[in-house]
């Protein structure tokens, strides 16, 4: 993803309390996706049945560090909706993860992310004479 495109998606990378909130949201979502991905690997014998969870875990790793957050969040939303509608049983956790992924894709990664370091606006301070 081109840095200019990401910079246009998010005019600012939230800092302060909003940035801290986004960091916590990314950490919680990424850790949960990683947990369910590892759990899926230990339970399912066939690759076809664990593929969505492995994809979700990979996107969770991207969310943990805040890299390609719009893409990772959208991928999480798609994969978790797929999991919710393709498996019997409790669908609340995949629906919650889909909503969190979609929210992160829309709101952005925040100031404490790799995206902000790579693609954020740069400030040039000129010393006074």
On average, the pLDDT of the chain sits at 84
**Per-residue pLDDT tens digits for 29-86:** 999 999 988 888 887 666 667 888 889 999 999 999 999 999 999 999 999 999 999 8
Model's pTM, two decimal places?
0.79
Q: What is the pLDDT of residue 41?
A: 81
Neighbours of 107 (CB within 10 A): 17
b (16+ CB within 10 A) / e for 23-56: bebbeebbebbbebbeebeeeeeeeeebebbbbb
């Amino acid at each position: 993803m081109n840095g200019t495109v990401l910079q246009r998606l998010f005019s600012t990378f939230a800092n302060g309390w909003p940035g801290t909130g986004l960091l916590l949201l990314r950490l919680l979502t990424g850790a949960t996706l990683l947990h369910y991905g590892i759990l899926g690997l230990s339970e399912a014998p066939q690759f076809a049945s664990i593929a969505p969870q492995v994809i979700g875990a990979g996107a969770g790793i991207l969310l943990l560090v805040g890299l390609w957050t719009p893409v990772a969040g959208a991928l999480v939303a798609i994969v978790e909706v797929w999991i919710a509608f393709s498996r019997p049983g409790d669908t609340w956790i995949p629906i919650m993860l889909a909503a969190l992924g979609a929210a992160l894709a829309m709101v952005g990664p925040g100031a404490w992310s790799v995206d902000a370091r790579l693609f954020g606006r740069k400030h040039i301070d000129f010393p006074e004479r």
